[in-house]
Every structure is written in C-alpha cells, then in structure tokens.
Chains A and B, each alone.
Chain A
Amino acid sequence: MTTVAMSPQQAIEQPNGLVLLLRYLRRNKGLAVGLAIFLALVLFTVIGSFTVDLKHAYPLSVGLKKPPSWQYPFGTDFFGRDLLAAMVVGLWQTAVIGILAGGLGTLIGVILGFIAAYFGGFADATIRTVCQILTPIPVLLIQVVIASSLDKRDVTIFTMAFIVVLLAWMGPTLVIRSQVLTMKERQFVSVAKLSGVSDFGIIFKEILPNLLPFIAAAFVSQVFLAVFAAFYLAVLGLGPLREPLLGNIIWAATGQGAFFNGWWWWPIEPSIGMILILGSLALINMGLDELANPRVRRTE
C-alpha cells in the first residue's frame, strides 16, 4: 500500500553497457584487480606456450639446480626441469583442472538446483536431503581417500578433475536451488504463466537469465575450490607425479628441503603462481557476489 517512492523518471538515455561496466569496475576495485591478475596469468601462459620449449618442463631436460639467469629466467630444479617451462605447463594444467572441474560442478549444481526448486515435491526432498547429508563430510578428505586408492600410474589431470568434481557439486546445487525458489515466487513468473509461457519457457527465458550473475559467481568459486583441491592433493603426493603441476613442484621442493639448500627460487615461483591464481579467483568471486546481490553493491 505504500506509495511508490520511485527515483524520478530518468528521461536521459542510459549510458551503454561498456561505460556502465567501466564505471562499475572503478567503484569495485577488488573485481578490477582480480580480473587484471587473471588476464596477466592467461597472457603469461599463452605467450609462454609459443616462446618456450615445453618439453623442458619434464625431468632431465636441462642442467640441475641453476639459479635464475638469462638462459633460465626462472632457474632449474633438482630434477633438471626448466622451471619457466614447468610454470607455463603447470599453469595451463591447473587451469584445465580448475575450469573442467569447476564447470562440471556448476553444471551439475545448476541442473539439480533447477530440478529441485522448480519441480519441488519428491525430487526437491531427495536432492536437498542428499546435499545436506554430504555437506558435513570434509570434501578434501574424501578426495584424499579416492586419490590414495587409485594406482599412482594412471592418475592424470583428467582423473584429478574427476575426483575433484565428485563431491564439489553440492555447494552450487543448494545456492542455485534457493535462488530459483525465490525467483519462482516473483510476480513476473506468474505474468509469464498468464501469457501462456510453458514450464520450460519460464525456466530458460524468464528465470535463467536473471540467475546469470549467481551462476557466474558459483562457477568462479567452484574453479577456486577445484584448483585448491588439485593443489592440495598434489602437495600430498597424490597428484599425477610426472606432470609439472604447481602442487607437484612445491611437493618436490619441500621434499628436497629446497629452502635449506639455498635453492629459494624453486618453491617460491610455484607458490607465487598459486597465490596469484587463487587470489585473483577469490577477488573475481567477491566482485561477482556483489553484482548478484544488489544490496551489497549499493554501498560501494
């Protein structure tokens, strides 16, 4: 019954999308920094994959334990890998695992979330209960169990991604489900029904477009969790040992006591790489969260 205390009608033309995006980024520095770092990493990997001989990323391809020099800008490690090549390949592989596992996890989450929320009833009850039962279980430990029971030799990046996604889909499922539940009650869905739109039409044309910011945020946080999990397993020595995954490099470095033997560059470089990846993903996630939750955005 309250009068519609609306902001005065904006007669002027709304500035186009790009200007709005830039203005939003200026106000939301976290997202800007995150995107910048992420782009830098992508550039590093793309340029690296052309300019550097990727075979040097594997053991016994170059001289051992050389500190960073003109010839080996990132130096070499105890096993004779050129760390620059190793970093390029490692970043690329981490990205593959992250995006694969994150993407799959989000996809499962969106599908189950929609089914549970929109069709409700028995489907909703089972999906919700399964998610609630699985939530308290520490996901990383189960992944450790899975990884440790696999034969070391046939563990590849893809099996890693599969292990990671196995128990990562509950988060997005619950988030998307609650969003769809609130969206379903909104009046524009009733109006769409009145306009003769079918159930599927409502899901894909009316509800899904409004959920894009949430799905994007869920995807980024899934990639973050996937990269974190892959790194975690690698550091425990459960990853694909031959691949120069950042986690493997650090596991090998700490194993050989790199710090104490003065090879400081060996553990530092992958650590910085990992911090940049996870940090940028976390910042982007924070930015997307604000985009999805208008009230949070308002105060910047």
Chain B
Amino acid sequence: MNSMTTTAPDARTAMRPATAATPVLRVEGLEVTYYTDLGRAKALDNVSFTLNSGEKMGVVGESGSGKSTMALAMMRMIKPPGRVEAGKVWVGDTELVSLNTEDMRKARLGKIAYIPQGAMNSLNPVIRIGAQMVDALKSHDVKGSSAELRDRCFAALHSVDLDPGVFRMYAHELSGGMKQRVCIAIGILLKPQVIICDEPTSALDVVTQRQVMETIDRVQDEINAAVILIGHDMGLMAQFVDKVAVMYAGRLVEVATVREMFTDPKHPYSRALIASLPNLENKGVFQGIPGLAPSLLRLPSGCAFHPRCPHGNQDPQRSVRPEEVTLAGGRKVTCHLYDAEGVKNG
C-alpha cells in the first residue's frame, strides 16, 4: 500500500555502534512544587529515568503535564514560586542538584545544554551572533586567542551547516530555521554530555523542521551526547527518538522503546494517545480522549488518569496511587493494571 520509502524500520538503531551501556544521565526521584496564589501545585512527582550516551529519549504529554518543568528542574532554572523539592540529577559522575551556584553555572552548557523552544527571540537582538557564541566560551573559562575562539565557533556553525558568515550577522537577519540552528550550534560548543531540546521545531515549517531534526541527529553523533526531545508531536517522536517517556499530571506513566510504544502501548493514556493520531490507515476515524487534563492544584484521588480511563471506575484506580513497575524487557509503567505483572521498583 505505501508507495513511500520502505527502509527497514529499525535501520537507524541497528547501525549505532554498541557503546557500553553506561548511563550518562541518571535522574532519581525529581520533585518540583509551585507555591501559587491559588495553592500548592505538585508539577513534578517523583520522576526517575536513565539515558545512555548517543541515545535519544522523547518526552511527551499534554500541556501542564510537567514536561518543560522537568527540563527546567534538570537545568536548575526553576524560578520562584516554583521550588525543586527533592531528587538527584547525575550527569556522568557529577550530581547537579547539590552543586553550588558557580559550578552549576559552569555545568550549564558544559555538561548539560538546553535548546529553547522560542528560538525566534532567544538570540540577543543587539549584538552579533559571534559575540553570543564567544561569550558562552569565555564564561566557561575557555582559553585561547580571539582567532582560536572564532575558529571554534566556525566549526560549530559548520556542523549545523550554517555559513561562517553568520558569525558577523545579527539575529534579525536570520530566518527561523537558521536561528534555531544557531541555538543548536551554541548548545554543542562545549560538547556537553546531555542535550535537552524543548520543542525545538514547534514554531517552524514542516520542511525546516525536518532540516533542524536532521541537524540535531548529526550533531549528536559527532559529540556522542544523550538527547532528550520534549514535544507533543508523536509523529516527530516516531521518526526521531529511540525510546519514549509519557508524562501525565507530573508523573512518568510509561517509558518504552519507540517500537514497543507505537506497536504495543501499555498504559491506557499511551494507548489512547497512539489511537488518536491521524494516520494514513485510519482516515476519517476520530478517537479523541474524553475529559480534560486535570488541574495540578486539585488532582483526582488515586490514579490521576482514572476519571478519563476506561478502567478508571474501579477500586484501586479510584483510591490508591499506582507505583511504577518494571515489566519484561525493562519497560516501565505506572498503572494498577500491571501491579501483579511487573516487578516493583521498591
């Protein structure tokens, strides 16, 4: 039926050299609470996962599910009224949450880089692009003459296939796609071990989007970093990431490889999400998810998804908060349906 390309599905992952599976990123029990005027909202609730170098993990979920909060918490950029309550974030052998402000500042871009969503105005409008790259290098005590620093920037621009001439240009002279690629170039200047992309292409056209995603893919191979892609476009996840984490109401409800997630989703919310996606096969079939995302200020009792879940109106779901369990093959899910089946994570 599909006259589209027919390369083997997992062609990409098979080609990757089998690096020792030492997790370059370990997040343990991360918790964030916002003390708003209207009450306390637990935006992130005991989130844990690991990521190996060279691996790509997608984080999906509805708005308000805590995706961006997780990224900000890992970068320790949560501003009042929010506060990181607990948890550890290990990048290689450094633990970020306990670092002092100066070391954490150096760790940003040095060990863990963040590519912003609004690339449109993430670049300083009144100084040249080059100056915004060199000051990042200098802030991380990178020694060298201005020529050396400039060459280093040229290399970064080249790896995101931007003409070195961009070094002397201003932000308003670049297109949306070019601005996003400059942000990526800045992100890889110090060859960080982890790169977090917070919906990097949501403001771009579909053709430019593919261009930017290919750039991130190539850049990741060059510096062998782990990449976290935060987004809501499941199609993008299918095409780009190795494993997918689904978040709901501040909790990680399922983590699985992209093949497992798309062919055999376990958690009812993941299943509904996959089913609702417009696809070549199911033209004219509309399967929305009933109800609305819960308010973090007044979470439903028991499992937060129970009001919208087909299995939701029974007992454990309504009253008891499910714990995360590990299923066969390392998949993780947080749902009472699998309490018996999985191994409790303690």
The residue from A9, A10, A23 contacting B293, defined by CB atoms under 8 A apart: A9
Q: Determine the chain A residues whose CB is within 8 A of the CB of B289 once the complex forms.
A: none
B203 within 8 A of A: yes
Q: CB-nearest residue of chain B relative to A10?
A: B38
How distant is the Cα of A75 from the Cα of B116 in the complex, in angstroms?
67
CB-contacts of A197-247 with B (<8 A):
none
A11 within 8 A of B: yes
How distant is the Cα of A278 from the Cα of B295 in the complex, in angstroms?
46
Interface size class of A (residues with CB under 8 A): 10 to 19
Q: Are A7 and B203 in contact (CB under 8 A)?
A: no
Given the known inter-chain contacts A11-B298, A12-B298, please indicate yes or no for A5 contacting B203, CB distance below 8 A: no
The residue from A4, A10, A11 contacting B63, defined by CB atoms under 8 A apart: A4
Q: CB-nearest residue of chain A relative to B292?
A: A9
How distant is the Cα of A10 from the Cα of B204 in the complex, in angstroms?
31
Q: Are B298 and A7 in contact (CB under 8 A)?
A: no
Q: Are A2 and B203 in contact (CB under 8 A)?
A: yes
Q: Are A23 and B199 in contact (CB under 8 A)?
A: no
Q: Are A5 and B64 in contact (CB under 8 A)?
A: yes
The residue from A2, A6, A7, A10 contacting B117, defined by CB atoms under 8 A apart: A2
The residue from B41, B68, B204, B298 contacting A5, defined by CB atoms under 8 A apart: B68
B108 within 8 A of A: no
How distant is the Cα of A157 from the Cα of B5 in the complex, in angstroms?
85
Q: CB-nearest residue of chain B relative to A20?
A: B37
How distant is the Cα of A278 from the Cα of B214 in the complex, in angstroms?
61
How distant is the Cα of A9 from the Cα of B64 in the complex, in angstroms?
9
Chain B 295-316 against A: per-residue CB contact (8 Å), 1 yes, 0 no?
Answer: 1111000000000000000000
A8 within 8 A of B: yes
B50 within 8 A of A: no
Q: Are B297 and A8 in contact (CB under 8 A)?
A: yes
Q: Determine the chain A residues whose CB is within 8 A of the CB of B204 once the complex forms.
A: 1
Q: Are B64 and A8 in contact (CB under 8 A)?
A: yes
Q: Are B63 and A6 in contact (CB under 8 A)?
A: yes
B164 within 8 A of A: no
Task: Give residues in A with beta carbon < 8 Å to B.
Answer: 1-12, 23
14 extra interchain contacts, Cβ-Cβ under 8 A, other than A9-B295, A23-B37?
A1-B204, A2-B199, A3-B62, A3-B202, A3-B232, A5-B64, A5-B68, A6-B63, A6-B64, A8-B296, A9-B293, A11-B298, A12-B39, A12-B297
24 contacts between A and B (CB under 8 A): A1-B204, A2-B118, A2-B202, A3-B202, A3-B232, A4-B63, A5-B63, A5-B64, A5-B68, A6-B63, A7-B36, A8-B64, A8-B293, A8-B294, A8-B295, A8-B296, A8-B297, A9-B292, A9-B295, A11-B297, A12-B38, A12-B297, A12-B298, A23-B37
